[in-house]
Amino acid sequence: MQAQTIPDRLKISPFLIFYAIMSMQIGLGAFDFQRRIAKDSGYDAWISILFAGACLHIILWMIYKITETVNGDIVAAHTYVAGNFLGKLLSLHSIGYFLLHCLATLRTFIEIIQVWVFPEINIFWFTFSYLLLCMYIVFGGLRTVVGIAFFSLVLPAYLLFTFGFNLPFSNFESLLPIWDHSINDLLKSSFHMTLSFIGFEIVLFLYPFIKEPQESKKWAHFSLFTTTLLYGVFAVLTFAYFSEEQLQKLLWPTLTMWKILKLSFVDRFEFIGIANWNLIILPNVCLSIWIGSRLVNRIFNIRQKNGVYLFVIVLLAAINLIHTREGIERLNSLVEKIGFAFTVLYIPLLFLAVQITKKVKKSE
């Protein structure tokens, strides 16, 4: 099979996959994952985070095996297994997947702005302005998008230290006894970590654009490990700070933890946190648009620039149809289920299909 030829000037360095993956994972579910996972397994939910993270390293290994075998992206993998027409047809779902992921990320963030900062904000005009910035970045190419991902993690990194102000008011003994719930409960909590963990699968789409992709493996696994560790630490801090009853009544526990922090120059630190989150979700949206438009280019042979316009128009139209908290919850639940099905079910099936096809072609 002929490899995809991507000029070196368009490729990213191997270590940058660390920031690309992590910027996709930290965003959509970071504000409320503690409440969602504690619903089933209480304060044992931190165990489910570690279990989910460990399982995803296996999925990531499969992703690299798929891309190495076909020497390309997911479209190349589908074509390798099912031929040109069926391969492209099978790749269509990925466009919808990233469209929904992008829509859920933006709409959830806008809801936070509406509740905490500007109740009367116009959804359409905020989305329009935000997507204009995203288009400007995406038109700069993947290197520009990944560069933004780097800054989106480095610049707001100081926010990690702000949670230290909660420690004097935390009771870590409330996490005891450990493993007080069934394995079934822990598995349910692992499922609810889907929204927070999806994003590492972008390797399936970015592989042809990575210089020396073999070197990127360790960075991809390190990124997944770092995200797992961060979520685990945040979960423990949250569980020690809130009681289980309080936690289930809070929509966004992470934001509520910032309310204790009062500085001489700002009384509501959560406003600063939300403003910083604009930068944190920026590469999340940009990467989704870039991958979606790239798939449009690969499947329909339409210029990627036109694919970006199409993606943005659909996002603008769809985001104005979701007005209620119930609608946003349904959207997030849908993304959670699709993300779980894609990463935990579909990718292993694709891995098996590629390996079987490889053996069949070798024997011919």
H/E run at residue 37: helix 33-41
Mean pLDDT within 11-29: 92
Whether the predicted pLDDT of 3 surpasses 60: no
CB 322 within 8 A of CB 331: yes
Mean pLDDT within 141-148: 96
The pLDDT tens digits of the residues spanning 260-270 come to 887 777 778 88
The pLDDT tens digits of the residues spanning 184-217 come to 999 999 999 998 999 999 999 999 999 999 999 9
Residue 6 has φ and ψ, to the nearest 5°, of -115, 125
Write down the pLDDT at residue 266.
76
Whether the predicted pLDDT of 140 surpasses 90: yes
Q: Which of 286, 165, 280 is nearest to 227 (CA)?
A: 280
pLDDT bracket for residue 2 (50, 70, 90): very low
Long-range contacts of range 253-260, CB-CB < 8 Å, 24 or more positions apart?
Answer: 253/31, 253/32, 253/34, 253/35, 254/30, 254/31, 254/32, 254/34, 255/31, 255/112, 255/116, 257/163, 257/166, 258/162, 260/165, 260/166, 260/169
Q: How far apart are CA 153 and CA 147, in angstroms?
A: 10
Q: How far apart are CA 153 and CA 316, in angstroms?
A: 26
Report the percentage of the chain scoring pLDDT > 90.
Answer: 79
Whether the predicted pLDDT of 28 surpasses 80: no
End-to-end Cα distance, the chain = 15
Q: Could you give the count of Cα atoms lying within 13 Å of 263 in the half-sphere of its Cβ?
A: 10
The pLDDT tens digits of the residues spanning 286-310 come to 999 999 999 999 999 999 999 999 9
Q: How far apart are CA 276 and CA 162, in angstroms?
A: 13
Q: How far apart are CA 38 and CA 117, in angstroms?
A: 27
Q: How far apart are CA 162 and CA 262, in angstroms?
A: 10
Which domains occur in the chain, in start order? 13-358 (1.20.1740.10)
Write down the pLDDT at residue 180.
85
Global pTM value:
0.94
H/E run at residue 191: helix 183-191
Write down the pLDDT at residue 231.
95
CA 213 to chain centre: 21
Write down the pLDDT at residue 278.
92
Write down the pLDDT at residue 4.
62
Give the Cα-Cα-Cα angle 136, 139, 143 (nearest 5 degrees): 105
Whether the predicted pLDDT of 225 surpasses 70: yes
Mean pLDDT within 74-90: 94
- Give burial (CB, 10 Å; 0-12/13-18/19+) of 328: middle
